[in-house]
Amino acid sequence: MMRTDTVRAAAVQIAPDLSGRAGTMERVLNAIAEAAGKGAGFIVFSETFVPYYPYFSFVLPPVQQGAPHLELYEEAVVVPSPETEAVAQAARRFGAVIVLGVNERDHGSLYNTQLIFDATGELVLKRRKITPTYHERMVWGQGDGAGLKVVDTAVGRVGALACWEHYNPLARYALMSQHEEIHAAQFPGSLVGPIFREQIEVTMRHHALEAGCFVVNATGWLSEEQIASIHPDEKLQRGLRDGCMTCIVSPEGRHLAPPLTEGEGMVVADLDMRLITKRKRMMDSVGHYARPELLHLVHDTREASTRHVFGTADEVGPPEGRTMPAELSEKEYGSV
């Protein structure tokens, strides 16, 4: 049953603290309080906002990325950690669902991770971007199909994707087929140039229309001083401007408030959940408008793992003379 009430959403566009995690976390908590003060029950921040998006990777050649990449390791977020607990406490205090993008450190790897905290403070989803884009492959590892999940929250069924994952139609369809009602989207902002802003708007409005859901999208922002600190070359600095399109879009593909394309601030709008049924009555792409006997998605929801353990002696792989567990396919392990 679709919700029929109204949810107030806020998409936050602010600058990180490029000096590290602590300063950015302070900005996150202040923005949550500000959004909640405006009545928001659903709050979205930009891609890998904590400690900051790795803008350096877009303008530096690989041979020069070592130092900033190592610094990002030191400032990245471990899940769980004091940082995630601080956000959980804010979610509980204000009764808000919060979607936060972080650079997640998992031992020797970094990931582009989206965290969804329910209004109770519970972390209901931790997902990793399935394929880092272009320069990002020098920074982050890959996620898996387990993160392509829609979760029930206080504001409805919420799904999330980061940046160019929205150009993977099957990733979007995986969430659509789980009947997401509110889609949280995150982009870095202050990147590529004006064309990025235009592309984001088209993509967000298209997903809202195709999925029949609300889209709340947050992009980041860099000040001129921050841009200069990332690279001194004025020509390369052009690649660190514009590209901002913080917006909230209805299931009918309409902006519910003027989008924010420059500067810091937040977009706040009320989501009339009845619009979901109004849209899907006409076109439900995973229901009456689908043709599953012709076209359907195969979605592997297992977590990717570099180690599968079974047996009583902590063996890796099937022990001699024993068969492999049924759920582990021959494709993974070969014939035994």
Active site residue 47: yes
Catalytic residue among 47, 165, 180, 210: 47
207 CB-contact burial (10 Å; exposed 0-12 / middle 13-18 / buried 19+): buried
Catalytic residue among 83, 126, 129, 210: 129
Active site residue 129: yes
Bridge partners (DSSP) of residue 43 are: 10, 98
Active site residue 163: yes
- In one-letter notation, the amino acid at residue 33 is A
Catalytic residue among 75, 163, 180, 244: 163
Kindly list the catalytic residues: 47, 129, 163
